[in-house]
Structure formats: structure tokens, C-alpha cells
Structure 1
Amino acid sequence: MLMFLAAVYGAAAGLLIPRPVHRMAVEPDEEWRADCPGGHPITGPARGWLGRGRCPDCGAYGPGPLSTAAVTALVCAALAAATGPRPELVAWLVMAPVAVLLAAVDWRARRLPDVLTLPLAAAGAALLGSVGWLTGETAAWWRALLGGLLLGAWYLVLYLVNPRGIGLGDVKLAVGLGIALGWYGWRTLVTGGAAGVLLGALYGAGLLLVRREARNAAMPLGPFMIIGAFCGLLPAAAAAA
């Protein structure tokens, strides 16, 4: 039952993702898009951020709503299955749709907006802090905060070494992911963080083998960081059950 409810929640949240993806998938110095690809103005609740994933006039916005709904539903259901009815599941379910949105935006525009990465870290810290206070696991919360700082610091080092391959958005995303991973321990933090780097490196190597011109092309690291964190979080949540 818990998995079903989480999947329904994820599907509903995923249906709202295409429009923000289209609006946010712009260059850093550009304003959020106010029109659909066909030039029709984007309107609706919350100043056009909420609503159907397709333009009523031409049928275009961002990615297909069924794909984002399916991915988000699958992620939320997997998290519910691994975590069970423990209170930290609330934090994972709040963070999951934001992570899917970030991955989609980064894949399209090669950017991770601060309006998503910073609230993701803040929400993770606040929600896990509430869980720690309610359950008495304050040590896990402090470890989660330190995990966010450590993973963010590691990506900052990578950025300073190779600013063309890693952006500051990746550094800020690492803070939120590190908070989630650190909740379950240092091994989970290392596993999830290393998995993200490894997946990104494998994807980059594959691009170089297929297209030599990809050497100088920007690569979206955010989706691989998120997948890596997800792969680290699931077994740790299941083991803590």
C-alpha cells in the first residue's frame, strides 16, 4: 500500500515537471522562458509554473508528461519500498521530484539552477532535522549535514581542478545529495558520491569513443550524480529497515 501511494504521488508530481523543464532550460544569463516552442504564452497557476505539460494551442512544452510521470513514480515507489514506513521517507519523497526536475533541466540545458539546488539542500536538512528531533537520531542529522559539506567540498575541488568539466551547479547539487546520503552513514556517502562520478566518467568516455568532437562539448553531470546518489541511498535505506 505504501509503495502504491508513493507511486501515485510520484506520478502526480511528475506530470507537473515538463512545464518547469521547458521554462528553466535556458542559458544562465537568460530569463525563464515565458512562451512555448510555438510562441504561445505560458499561463496558469503560480504564474504559469503549474499546469498541463503540453501547450493547449500547439501541444508543445517540455519533455513528455508520461515519461516524467513514469520516472518519478518509479523513483518514489522504489524509495518507499526500501525505506518502509520510517519517517525519513517523507524527506526522500519531497526531494525526489526536485531531483528528477534537476536531472531533466541539466540534460537539456547543461545547467543546474540555484532555485532548485539550494532549496533541495535546505529541504533535506530541514526535513531530516525534524526526523532526527522526533526520533532522537540527532547524530544522524549532524552526520547528514557534515556529509553535505564534505561532498560539496569534494566537488568544489573537482571544479577548481577542472572548471570546464564541472560547474558550480554541480557543487551545489552535491551538498543536497550529500545530506541525503550522509543520513545513513559514511559508507553510503562514499558509495553514492563515487557512483555519480563513475557514471559520469563512463558516459563521457562513451561520448569520446563515439564522437571525437565531444571532447570540448559540455556534459550534463547532474543526472549521473543523482542516479549515483539514488543507487547509494536505496540499499542503505533497505539495510536500515
Structure 2
Amino acid sequence: MLPLAALPTAVLPLAAGLLGAALGPWLARATVRLATRDRTAGAGRVRTLVTTVLTAALLAGGAALVGPRPALGGVLWLAAAGVVLAGVDLATHRLPDVVTLPALAVLVAATAVDALVTGDGARALHGVLLGAAAFGVAAALRLAAPAGLGFGDVKLLAPLGVLLGWVGGGTLVVVGVFLGLVVGAVASLVLLATGRAGWRSAVPFGPPLLAGAALACALAPGLTGPL
């Protein structure tokens, strides 16, 4: 059998993209059901299409970045979870623990297995420590200014910190959070300019954080070796 590392470069992202396309309709339904708390709710065509395209693109991008290594499973899980979290947060200003916490657990487990298989323990340690640091800093900010950051956002920063720390160390964590702030600020200005929000309107911060992490990963080089 041909080893994964010997497969053509485009095969793994293509397979991940097809997986994302297959998962898209199910993730769209899950998003609606979590947002409405109605287990029988269905997703409309537009939501299903957007969810499917976004999931396929994120999974393909994750596969292109990580390559054929054990941590890929955790990265793809987090990418799919992020699509659901963004959809729920936009609809209800909630980031359900039932999505966030399993994504964190799977990502940490996948990076641990990756460290055992590849011997790249430093990268896994960076990820876990920076994920804990991101959570700790966000929790402190939440205590200092409760109106500025929801606790769901605080918990979301744990898996995002693990991912960004594992991919590119502390620098990428800072870049990802900064880009999330920029995305959030731009989105708020657009909402204000179009009259869809006022100065006192609460704007969900989960989608900008997720977008910032995705952009930071897109800017990062491929995983060609240890940090």
C-alpha cells in the first residue's frame, strides 16, 4: 500500500474537501437545531449551501496546511466545529459547550498522538501551553470587563490557541487574535454603516475569532518540520 506521505500533494486536500462537502448538510442541520434548541428543525437551502461550501473549503485548507500527519484529524474536527459555532453564535450569541469542548479534547488528543508518532513533542507542547495561556488571558479579561467578552468566547480561545500555537507558536497566536479583532471591528463598522446595528448593539465575537484563526493559518507556512 502506498504510504500517505507518498501520495500526490493535491490528493489529501481534495479528499478533505469532499469530506467537508458530505458533512455540510448535516452540519447545517446541527447548527439550526443548536440555535433553536429544536431537535426536529431543518436547514434551508441557502444555509445548507453556505455551510457545505465553507466546510469543504476549510477542511481542504486544513489538509493542505497540516499534511498527512496524525494531528490532521483534530484540525479537521475543529474546522467543522468552527462552522457550527459561527452559525450558532451569529443566530443566538451563544457558543455551545457541546461543540467547543469536544473540539478541544479531540485536538489535544490528536496533537498528543502526533507527538508520539512523529517525535515532534515540542510542537505539541507549544500548542497545549499556548492554548492554556490564551484561555487564561481571555478569562482575566472577562473578569475585568464582563461586557467585552463572553465566557463562550473565552472557552473558544482554548482550542484556537492550541491550534495556532501548534501550527506556528506564540507569534501565530498573537496574529490570529489580532486578525480576529480586525475582522470584528470591520464587521461592526459595516453593520453600523448599513443600519443593522447601533453603537450599543451586542455583536457576536465568536465568528471574528474563528475567521482570524483561519486567516492566520492561511498565512502560515506548511508544516515542514518542528518549530
* TM-score, length of structure 1 as denominator length: 0.81
Q: Aligned residue for 2:207?
A: 223
Q: Aligned residue for 2:86?
A: 103
Displacement of 1:212 after TM fit?
A: 8.8
RMSD, matched Cα: 2.1
Query: Aligned match of 1:157 in 132, 140, 143?
Result: 140
Q: Aligned residue for 1:33?
A: 38
- Deviates most, 168-177 or 139-148: 139-148
Displacement of 1:158 after TM fit?
A: 2.9
- Deviates most, 169-178 or 201-210: 201-210
Q: Provide the rounded CA distance (Å) in 1 between the counterparts of 2:64 and 2:75.
A: 12
Alignment of 1:162-177 (within 5 A): 162-177=145-160
The reply on whether 1:13 has 2:18 as its aligned counterpart is no
Structure in which a larger fraction of residues adopt helix: 2
Q: Aligned residue for 1:142?
A: 125
Q: Provide the rounded CA distance (Å) in 2 between the counterparts of 1:172 and 1:67.
A: 25
Q: Aligned residue for 2:190?
A: 206
Is the CA contact 1:18–1:63 (under 8 Å) kept in the aligned structure 2? no
SS at structure 2 position matched to 1:17: helix
Displacement of 1:209 after TM fit?
A: 4.0
Is the CA contact 1:159–1:168 (under 8 Å) kept in the aligned structure 2? yes
Displacement of 1:153 after TM fit?
A: 1.8
Is the CA contact 2:97–2:152 (under 8 Å) kept in the aligned structure 1? yes
Q: Provide the rounded CA distance (Å) in 2 between the counterparts of 1:239 and 1:2.
A: 14
**Change in CA separation of 1:207 and 1:64 when aligned onto 2, cut-off 3 Å:** closer
SS at structure 1 position matched to 2:220: helix
How many pairs are equivalent?
A: 214
Paired-residue identity, %: 35
Is the CA contact 1:165–1:218 (under 8 Å) kept in the aligned structure 2? no
Q: Provide the rounded CA distance (Å) in 2 between the counterparts of 1:125 and 1:110.
A: 26
Question: Which sections of structure 1, spanning at least 5 residues, go unmatched?
Answer: 27-31, 37-52, 55-59
Q: Provide the rounded CA distance (Å) in 2 between the counterparts of 1:240 and 1:219.
A: 38
Q: Aligned residue for 1:44?
A: none
- Deviates most, 17-26 or 80-89: 80-89
Q: Deviations over 1:111-152 (max 9, x none)?
A: 101111111111111111110111111121111111111111
Q: Provide the rounded CA distance (Å) in 2 between the counterparts of 1:78 and 1:67.
A: 16
**Change in CA separation of 1:63 and 1:163 when aligned onto 2, cut-off 3 Å:** farther
Query: Aligned match of 1:78 in 51, 56, 61?
Result: 61
**Change in CA separation of 1:115 and 1:23 when aligned onto 2, cut-off 3 Å:** same
Q: Provide the rounded CA distance (Å) in 1 between the counterparts of 2:164 and 2:48.
A: 29
**Change in CA separation of 1:212 and 1:119 when aligned onto 2, cut-off 3 Å:** closer
Query: Aligned match of 2:71 in 81, 88, 107?
Result: 88
